[in-house]
A and B are shown apart, each in its own frame.
Chain A
Amino acid sequence: MHATSEAAGMRIDTDLLREVEQFIFREARFQDELEYDRWEALWTDDGVYWVPANGDDTDPTKQVSIIFDNRARIATRIKQLHTGKRHSQTPPSRLRRLVSNVELLGEGDDGQVRAGANFVVYESRERGVTLWAGRSEYTLCRTPDGLRMSYKKVALVDNDRALYTLAFLI
């Protein structure tokens, strides 16, 4: 089914939009509920996970980032969480996040879908409550197992300021 967005003057594939939304909501739930392996399984083999610092469009090969993981480093991050000795997540943060403003941003010839969404994460741990807000941008690929992430960029609203430890999955 297709609907037309008059303002943007472009057609929106609402089936695809719902599928992407469901993917992003599921990803959020896996993060909140510490389903590390199920979260990791959402990545393609060449996934890149980027959380820039000091702006949203820095060059991560020249400037520091909060996270800039290739697929191997994503795996390391998950393995570290699984050791039970990742002290900054032992005990783990209690988390709930709201994801909204999901938009399809484009489709590639290869079936890749680009999507964006805003989020707020409520994190509770011994230190107190920390709110994290930002925008995620995804590149999703269609695989025999459904949509998978090949790219996720998380642009935190506060990324130019001093931040508390961010050891949960954002």
Chain B
Amino acid sequence: MTSADLANRWDSLIEPGRVHGSLYTDPDIYAAELERIWYRTWVYVGHVSEVPEPNDYVLKSIGPQPVIMSRDKQGQIHLLLNRCSHRANLVCDAQKGNSSAFRCPYHGWTFSNTGKLLGYPFNSGYDGTALKSELGLGRVARVASYQGFVFGSFAQDGPTLEEHLGAATDAFDRLVRLSPTGEVELTAGWLKHKVKANWKMLVENETDGYHPQFVHASIFSVADSGIGELYGDKSVAVCRDLGNGHTENDLRPEFRRLDQPLGWFGTDPAKVPGYVDQLTAVHGDNTREILIDGSPHVMVFPNLFIAEIQLFVIQPLAVDETVQHVTAVQYKGSPDMNRRMLQQTIGSVGPAGFLLADDSEMYERNQRGVHARTPEWLTIKRGLHRERRDENDHVIGDATDEVPQRAIWKHYRSLMEGQ
């Protein structure tokens, strides 16, 4: 399959109400996705709180690519590829640390945490002095951040990060607004959950409001949870196409109807008085409304899912293998709230989580199912007849509609067809 063949077939594989099964199973399509999505658009990499001090670094990824996120001594953040410019050994082993330089163990070349080649042993073996200026570490071409969330793009040119995020910037603003300091910290470490499924099964599920009552019925029933009703036929919540492949389950209409501060978190202000006082000191009379509206549920295409009190990062490794990294959101300076968010996160997500173990089972069952020869297509028509536009001209649907899945595929197609 040549890339020209591929370019001609996206419109025959992706229609407004259905997508072809091969999009999840074809290794050539996966290879094309790496080039046109993962190694081109803005991809979420890490958070500034993971490298708080000068010379801190942490190992991250962009899909299968190993990326070192470093902070240099001036405080600037770099995204470097973990590949020695001599003969390709890995220059960094530790998951995280503090160092101004990385020394390759193979022949001892040394690189600064800005990616510059600093030196190499026995340098009479090279005739010129150009080596140092020519052979730095590979780097992700563009680095930008929004509310402390660091993104990278392998493309030299293209939309800015804020253009790419577009209306999804509001999700980050709403997330950090719930922190009394206006900052979140990702300091709780990551659970890494591996699944035998194509990465798009995960992306589409994150804002699928149709599945919770079925996939999560077991935990909703035994934990007496009200979450299921948010995603029911009676719910006034909406799902939304935020543009550029970003999608949302907006639960605020339900939370406003229920009118319970911190109801979205399954608690009430009396349980976290310290946090509520802190937030009130900042937001005054608006605090109640902020606590009723709660935290966003937004999938930022292609790999960052802001899930109220958790952040998920999706990492494709092969056409049928994906790792989902997840951590608890922590509000800088709010220990009482942070403890609760962490404990709720541990219960819900990761390999043994009450929720995510079952989502993951669905991804894998989908992946096995899609190999059956017919009906060939996956249907994403739900709510097509009742799509409407909100006051910002975004397409929205009812809580259980497939507006998000259609939005994801529309953007996907535009990226795959692009030059």
Query: Footprint of B on A, CB under 8 Å?
Result: 51, 53-54, 58, 60-69, 73, 76-77, 79-80, 83-88, 126-127, 160-167, 170
| Interface-lining segment among B183-191, B297-305, B374-382 | B183-191
A157 to chain B, nearest CB (A): 14
Contact A83 B346 (CB under 8 A): no
- B361–A165 CB distance below 8 A: yes
B328 within 8 A of A: yes
Q: Decide: B189 and A126 in contact? CB cutoff 8 A.
A: no
Is B192 in contact with A88, judged by CB distance below 8 angstroms? no
B residues 303-346 near A (Cβ < 8 Å) are: 323, 326-328, 339, 342-343, 345-346
The reply to whether A88 and B360 form a contact with Cβ atoms under 8 Å apart is yes
Instruction: Verify A79–B351 contact, CB threshold 8 A.
Output: no
**With contacts A87-B362, A164-B351, A166-B357 known, is A64 near B328, CB below 8 A?**
yes
B:73-101 near A, CB below 8 Å: 95
Contact A79 B222, CB 8 Å, known A58-B189, A62-B188, A64-B189: yes
Q: Check A68–B346 contact: CB distance below 8 A.
A: yes
The answer to whether A88 and B357 have CB atoms under 8 Å apart is yes
Looking at the assembled complex, report how far the CB atom of B353 sits from the nearest CB atom of chain A, in whole angstroms. Answer: 9
CB–CB B351/A66 < 8 A: yes
Residues of A close to B50: CB separation below 8 A: none
- Chain B residue contacts of A79, Cβ below 8 A: 222
Are A161 and B192 touching (Cβ within 8 A)? Answer: yes
Nearest residue in A to B328 (C-beta to C-beta)?
Answer: A64
How many residues in B have their beta carbons less than 8 Å from beta carbons of A? 40
Q: Check if A88 sits within 8 Å of B358, measured CB to CB.
A: yes
- Interchain nearest-CB distance for A85 vs B (Å): 4
**B residues near A51, Cβ cutoff 8 Å:** 352
Chain B, residue nearest A61 (CB): B339
Contact, CB under 8 Å: A162 / B193: yes
Q: What are 7 A-B pairs with beta-carbon distances under 8 A?
A: A53-B350, A63-B189, A64-B346, A69-B347, A80-B219, A164-B193, A166-B352
Q: Tell me the bound Cα distance from A69 to B350 in angstroms.
A: 14
Instruction: Report the minimal beta-carbon distance from A129 to chain B, rounded to whole angstroms.
Output: 13
Closest residue of chain B to A52 (Cβ to Cβ) is B189
Q: Which residue in B192, B222, B364 is a CB contact (below 8 Å) of A163?
A: B192
9 further interface pairs, Cβ-Cβ under 8 Å (given A63-B342, A64-B328): A54-B189, A64-B189, A64-B346, A76-B219, A87-B215, A87-B218, A88-B358, A163-B193, A165-B357
A66, A83, A88, A167: the one contacting B191 at CB < 8 Å is A66
B residues near A (Cβ < 8 Å) are 95, 187-196, 215, 217-219, 221-223, 323, 326-328, 339, 342-343, 345-347, 350-352, 354, 357-358, 360-362, 364-365, 368
In the complex, A60→B188 CA distance in Å?
9
Chain B residues near A88 (CB-CB < 8 A): 357-358, 360-361
Q: Are B192 and A76 within 8 A (Cβ)?
A: no
Chain A contacts for B189, CB-based, 8 A = 53-54, 58, 63-64
**Is the pair B345, A64 in contact by a Cβ cutoff of 8 Å?**
yes
Whether A73 touches B191, Cβ cut-off 8 Å, given contacts A85-B217, A87-B362, A88-B358, is no
Does B222 contact A76, Cβ atoms closer than 8 Å? yes
A76 to B218, CA, bound (A): 10
A62 to chain B: closest residue by CB: B188
B342 with A64: CB separation less than 8 A? yes
Chain A residues within an 8 Å CB radius of B193: 162-165
Q: Which residue of A lies closest to B321 (CB)?
A: A162
What is the CA–CA distance of A51 and B351 in the complex, to the nearest angstrom? Answer: 11
Contact between chains at B191 and A53 (CB < 8 Å): yes
CB distance from A107 to the nearest CB of B (A): 31
How far does the Cβ of B63 sit from chain A's closest Cβ, in whole Å?
A: 14
Q: A127-B196, A164-B195 are in contact. Are A80 and B342 (CB under 8 A)?
A: no
Q: Bound complex: CA of A63 vs CA of B327, how far in Å? A: 9
| Shortest Cβ distance from A60 into B: residue | B346
Choose from B191, B222, B358, B368 the contact partner of A126 (Cβ within 8 Å).
B368
A64-B327, A87-B358, A165-B360 in contact; A80/B218 too (CB < 8 A)? yes
Complex Cα–Cα for A80 and B192 (A): 23
Rounded to whole angstroms, the CA-CA distance of A124 and B64 in the bound complex is 27
Most buried by B among A53, A126, A160: A53
- Min CB gap B288→A, angstroms: 29
Q: Which residues of A contact B187 (CB under 8 A)?
A: 62
- Could you tell me the distance between the alpha carbons of A167 and B359 in the complex, rounded to whole angstroms? 12
Measured CA separation A54–B350 after assembly (Å): 13
